[in-house]
Amino acid sequence: MRLHKHLWFCALAGLLCGAQPVSAAPWVRGYVVATYEYAFRYGGRAGFTRGSEIEPGVDCPHGSTVHFANEDETRRALARQKWRSRQEIDWITKPPGLGQARAPVLTRFFIWNRAVSYRGYRRGIETYVNPFAAEDPGQPQVVSRIGDGFNLDGKIGTRDFVSPDGEKGIDNALYRAWGCDAPWRGNGNATLDLRANDKMQEGLYTMVIRISGNQDPMNDDNATVEIGYSPDKIVKDARGNVAPDYSYRILEPAEYTRLKARIRNGVVQTEQVAQMHAPRIAWFYDQTGDADFHQGRIRLKIADDGSAAGLLGGYRDWRDLYVENAFAQDGGQQGIREHEDHVALYYALKRNADGMYDPRTRRYQGISTAYRITAMPAYVVDPDKPMDIPLLAGEVDRKAAFEAIRAATIKAVTTRVPQDVPPGTTEAAVPTLERVIVDLPSKDYFLKTLDRPRYPEEKAANDTSNRRAANDGKSLALAGKP
């Protein structure tokens, strides 16, 4: 990564452009994305606290979600399975002998994790791979009419939002579906926004934008916008902020799109394209990949200091959004820690889907979205030779497990046939629960009662162990030993 000087760049631009007028000279501006998050709005008062609750507001009159936030909420979730006994619900909610466990908070956390991972209409159906098999627990949805985004379908519908500057017909159904979800709701400080931006800035992935034209950077009728992945880690200054004016390579094979654009007084508006590719929001390596926007477009505002801010959006396959959020680690862990229920999120996505109509199923497979970004000026350059997105060798197995569970989940929700949990995941706190529960007096009850994934190699090992035990028993019997 190289630090360039503006004077050097301007001198080079002057040499290349010869004696042409400045207003008609080819120009290029680059940016490295500093923050990247769903374009959700917050309707409460900043700084308000009432216990652990985020204030209700015009967006979410009942406040943020409280799934699994306490014993009562967890009990309510477990009571929806008619096959659970009262003792099972009571013991899961308050594990007997918990005070004697070496790590009581973690022990209860992972017992809850395993229990809520099996909430289907019968035992043995894993919840997060098969969310359709569980009862909808209900997701509070945004009721405000103000929302950020684009008019993606060119229509003004009764359920569309109005933008803060008065534009009607804004399509951002993801905001309606998930805007009250606890880890995504906040005034710039939502838990998952902070986590994702922190991981991006610390090197998980980098997104860059390059804008070019032939007229004027602030007014150009025939500009080009490129957005894509960079293999170079974000550089920070001494204060921990994203530093300006560093060089980043942009890769074109994947997570990359080139769009035509028009610029008016520093506002960049791209064309709407059938498919727009860009890096997806992620806070773990397994989530990283292509955010495939259908009917995608970008709008940016260039600030006086050279930075930029704006939106990118389009329709995304709501099944992909579900998987990306649910399986960052495992569904139960994510839900209990963040007070969100992915079953509720699944039904909210399905209920609000508004694009990518599939005539075979007669259902919408896409949901309108908008993502908010801020970006710092940078030098965005092509690599010396063609290259693909590098793989993180130490995370290949985890990435493979994520892709396997993604495929299983999409098959499950499409066919409504329950699917098993693919091996390599950590669904239902496997094997974490077995490690943390060792000194809990009631551990045998939970290990025997609670469902968990079973894998082919595990079954084969158990079969071998059982055969050996049986053969040993036969040998002892033949030898006349008890």
Q: What digits encode the pLDDT tens for the residues 308-362?
A: 999 999 999 999 999 999 999 999 999 999 999 999 999 999 999 999 999 998 9
Q: Is the pLDDT of residue 131 over 80?
A: yes
Q: What is the pLDDT of residue 44?
A: 76
Residue 187: pLDDT band (50, 70, 90) is confident
Q: Minimum mean pLDDT among 199-203, 415-419, 473-477: which range?
A: 473-477
Q: Is the pLDDT of residue 97 over 80?
A: yes
Q: What is the pLDDT of residue 47?
A: 61
pTM, rounded to two decimals? 0.88
Q: Is the pLDDT of residue 75 over 90?
A: yes
Residue-wise over 182-200: b if at least 16 C-beta within 10 A, else e?
Answer: bbbbbbeebbbbbbbbebb
Q: What is the pLDDT of residue 76?
A: 96
Q: Is the pLDDT of residue 165 over 90?
A: yes
The segment with the largest mean pLDDT, out of 51-55, 121-125, 457-461, is 121-125
Q: What is the pLDDT of residue 56?
A: 86
> What integer best gives the mean pLDDT of the chain?
89
Tell me whether strands 355-358 and 308-317 are parallel, antiparallel or unpaired: unpaired
d(CA 242, CA 233): 11
More confident residue, 459 or 342: 342
Q: What is the pLDDT of residue 43?
A: 86
Q: Who contacts 266 (Cβ-Cβ below 8 Å, separation ≥6)?
A: 218, 301, 302, 303
| Burial (Cβ within 10 Å: 0-12, 13-18, ≥19) of residue 237 | exposed
Q: Is the pLDDT of residue 435 over 80?
A: yes
Q: Is the pLDDT of residue 227 over 50?
A: yes
Q: Is the pLDDT of residue 482 over 80?
A: no
Residue 372: pLDDT band (50, 70, 90) is very high
Residue 5: pLDDT band (50, 70, 90) is very low
Residue-wise over 241-263: b if at least 16 C-beta within 10 A, else e?
Answer: ebbbbbbbbbbbeebbbebebeb
Residue 140: alpha-carbon gap to chain centroid: 19
Question: pLDDT exceeding 70 applies to what percent of the chain?
Answer: 88
Beta strands in 2-160 (DSSP E): 27-38
Domain ranges of the chain: 26-46+139-389, 71-137+404-451
Helix, strand, coil percentages, rounded to 5, for the chain: 35, 25, 40
Q: Is the pLDDT of residue 151 over 90?
A: yes
Residue 25: pLDDT band (50, 70, 90) is confident
Mean pLDDT calculated for residue range 380-406: 94
d(CA 331, CA 343): 10
Beta strands in 360-404 (DSSP E): 363-381
